[in-house]
Amino acid sequence: MHIMLKIIKRALTICVLMPLFANAESPNPVIEEAVAILDRELIERQDELESNDEALYALVDEILLPRFDRRFAAQQALGKHWRNASPEQRDAFVTEFYNSLLRRYADGLLNFDQRKIVVKAYRGDDTKKYTKVKTIVTIDGGTKVPVDYMLIKRESGWLIIDVIIEGISYLATTKEELKVEIGGSSLDAVIARLKRENSGES
């Protein structure tokens, strides 16, 4: 299980930003376009982004924030604890959960290479609320990893809500980790930990 989680983390840093422009009726063409746009941005600003973490985080935020349903994803990750949380706790968790994802993805973004990603032919039903886009990602050593993206259809278009790598859902895994952590402490303690980590504190 630990080996699988390592594969998930490595694959996420390579490919999770692919569907961030998924706001068309059919998600596949937009995902392919997003890969090309992101790759070009990284090439043009490579020196700046390698030397300036804040610029890198700003780039990820500019792309991610409008295309990621952060409140829905945070609610799913928190599970039953969402129902018992106060409005203030919910807002705080959404913010820190999103910032944690942003920094995690940004830390691996400079290794992004669109040639390692193959978007499979779309087999979903884009008239429904939820859809799945399947890809194959080649990681170090030539290992090919199946990566599925779950998206939800909002008025603004398709928004990413989960990444499933080799059958393992990122949200489901995070939900179990948070369940254990909150059970041993509290939601406030989890929010405080995320805030410390997001600010660069140990």
Residue 31 has a pLDDT of 65
Residue 148 pLDDT: 84
As a whole number, the mean pLDDT across the chain is 81
Dist CA 104 CA 11 (whole Å): 12
The shares of helix, strand and coil residues in the chain, as percent rounded to the nearest 5, are 65, 15, 20
Q: Which sign does the torsion angle of CA 13, 20, 70, 96 carry? A: positive
Which CATH number does the domain housing residue 58 bear? 3.10.450.710
| Spatial CB neighbours of 56, under 8 Å, sequence gap ≥ 6 | 49, 106, 109, 110
Q: Determine contact, residues 42/110, Cβ cutoff 8 Å.
A: yes
**H or E stretch at 153:** strand 144-154
Task: Say if residue 115's pLDDT is above 70.
Answer: no
- Scan for tokens 């080799």, then name that residue: 166
187 and 94 in contact (C-beta within 8 Å)? no
Question: How many domains is the chain partitioned into structurally?
Answer: 1
Return the sign of the alpha-carbon dihedral for residues 166, 18, 157, 104.
positive
Tens digits of residue pLDDT in 18-57: 444 444 467 776 667 666 767 778 889 889 988 998 988 8
Mean pLDDT computed over 4-10? 47
pLDDT mean over 83-95? 97
* Confidence class for position 202, pLDDT limits 50, 70, 90: low
| 8, 137 contact by CB (below 8 A) | no
Cβ–Cβ under 8 Å, residues 175 and 76:
yes
Q: What distance in Å separates the CA atoms of residue 187 and residue 90, rounded to the nearest whole number?
A: 10
Cα(39)–Cα(91) distance, rounded to whole angstroms? 32
| pLDDT-above-70 percentage for the chain | 80
Q: Which of 111, 10, 106 is nearest to 63 (CA)?
A: 106
Higher pLDDT, 117 or 169: 169
Write out the residue range of the structural domain in which residue 33 sits.
Answer: 2-198
